């Protein structure tokens, strides 16, 4: 035990914990605590130089005070609503976040799906390739210049502006937080529902407003589901759920593959109650030939966007992926500036 004593708290499964330990620099002496209770965490901080908190976990004034020798509190993720930043500041302990590549990738994918629906990109692409209205006579083509062009020459309708749109995020975790940042940059009004509400200051910082689930469904032009798999979330989007959404709203899912009741969603789209559906996860993967959303997506005018569970791209869970999470600890030991510093 000659390394720099580091307490690492996490609630993630074993494979994630093993890879984190494999990726850790050898000069760190890590004690990994899985969902520790308060007393265990406070006791473990005696003599610790670093506290790594993965994704969440209350770090209040008492916890900060227990770490009398702490040199850094490193949050893996971008949320700090459950860290007493004032207590850390008063104790002279820096607090840093570390954006997670997987969360950023999924948030970007969700953003792309939202834009694809709002702009009806599938239908527009199909017009260009002749899959939609390929037999229509659009008139003689003319070469474009500064004075010659044909805006919306195919007469597409239903293409709207994302700015000023109300987007409701169901599950405000790491991905939801990253998505909210991007939506705010587009000028959206962002609502969220989460099992545990964020503190008011965290809501203000993100520019989001809390709603009950039913309130969110009734107010949102676009509902984005980012729920993890659970018994409660499986088949969540049944007919009752969808009926509570605004007529003409759009549904996006970048959460667990089990979240959508695909038959109910297909019915809501077919009836016109929903104006668009996009999902990255599917009940069966790869989808079965009779998948109802796949059948609808074959008609580009249906405004359905399906991706083959690629929101995370080709990122693979490896020790190399986790190695950068220790960058700030190494930087502090080497006398270099900290990145993503909050305090």
Task: List, for residues 159-192, the tens digit of each pLDDT value.
Answer: 999 999 999 999 999 999 999 999 999 999 999 9
pLDDT at 1 over 60: no
pLDDT of residue 53: 98
Average pLDDT over residues 102-125: 97
Residue 218's nearest CA partner among 242, 245, 178 is 245
For residue 95, what pLDDT band results from cuts at 50, 70 and 90? very high
The pTM assigned to this predicted structure is: 0.91
Three-state SS at 222:
strand
Q: How many residues does the chain have?
A: 343
pLDDT at 74 over 80: yes
For residue 13, what pLDDT band results from cuts at 50, 70 and 90? confident
The residue ranges of DSSP E strands in the chain, in sequence order, are 4-10, 28-34, 50-54, 72-76, 95-98, 166-170, 189-193, 208-210, 222-225, 249-253, 274-279, 304-306
Rounded to 10°, the helix 101-118/121-129 angle is 60
For residue 57, what pLDDT band results from cuts at 50, 70 and 90? confident
Rg (CA), the chain: 24
Residue 328's nearest CA partner among 121, 98, 40, 61 is 98
* 38-50 confidence digits (pLDDT tens): 999 999 999 999 9
Average pLDDT over residues 229-247: 95
pLDDT of residue 309: 97
Domains along the chain with CATH numbers: 4-98+316-334 (3.40.50.720), 103-120+158-306 (3.40.50.720)
């Amino acid at each position: 035990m000659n390394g720099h004593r580091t307490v690492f708290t996490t609630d993630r499964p074993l494979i994630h914990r093993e890879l984190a330990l494999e990726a850790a620099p050898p000069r760190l002496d890590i004690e990994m605590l899985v969902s520790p209770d308060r007393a265990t965490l406070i006791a473990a901080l005696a003599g610790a130089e670093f506290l790594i908190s993965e994704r969440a976990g209350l770090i209040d004034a008492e916890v900060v005070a227990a770490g009398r020798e702490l040199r850094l509190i490193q949050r893996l993720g971008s949320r700090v609503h459950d860290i007493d930043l004032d207590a850390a500041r008063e104790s002279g302990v820096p607090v840093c976040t570390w954006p997670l590549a997987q969360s950023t990738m999924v948030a970007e994918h969700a953003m792309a799906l939202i834009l694809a629906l709002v702009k009806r990109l599938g239908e527009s692409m199909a017009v260009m390739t002749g899959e939609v209205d390929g037999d229509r006579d659009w008139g003689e083509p003319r070469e474009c210049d500064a004075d010659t062009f044909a805006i919306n020459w195919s007469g597409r309708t239903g293409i709207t502006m994302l700015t000023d749109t109300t987007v409701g995020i169901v599950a405000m975790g790491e991905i939801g937080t990253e998505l909210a940042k991007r939506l705010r940059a587009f000028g959206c009004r962002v609502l969220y529902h989460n099992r545990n509400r964020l503190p008011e200051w965290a809501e203000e910082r993100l520019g989001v407003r809390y709603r009950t689930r039913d309130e969110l469904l009734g107010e949102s032009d676009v509902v984005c589901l980012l729920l993890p798999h659970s018994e409660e979330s499986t088949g969540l989007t049944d007919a009752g759920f969808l009926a509570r959404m605004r007529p003409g709203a759009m549904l996006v899912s970048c959460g667990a593959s089990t979240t959508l009741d695909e038959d109910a969603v297909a019915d809501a789209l077919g009836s016109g109650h929903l104006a668009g559906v996009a999902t990255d996860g599917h009940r069966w993967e790869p989808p079965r030939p009779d998948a109802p959303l796949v059948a609808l997506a074959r008609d580009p005018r249906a405004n359905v966007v399906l991706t083959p569970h690629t929101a995370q791209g080709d990122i693979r869970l490896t020790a190399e992926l986790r190695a950068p999470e220790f960058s700030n600890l190494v930087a502090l030991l080497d006398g270099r500036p900290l990145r993503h510093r909050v305090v």
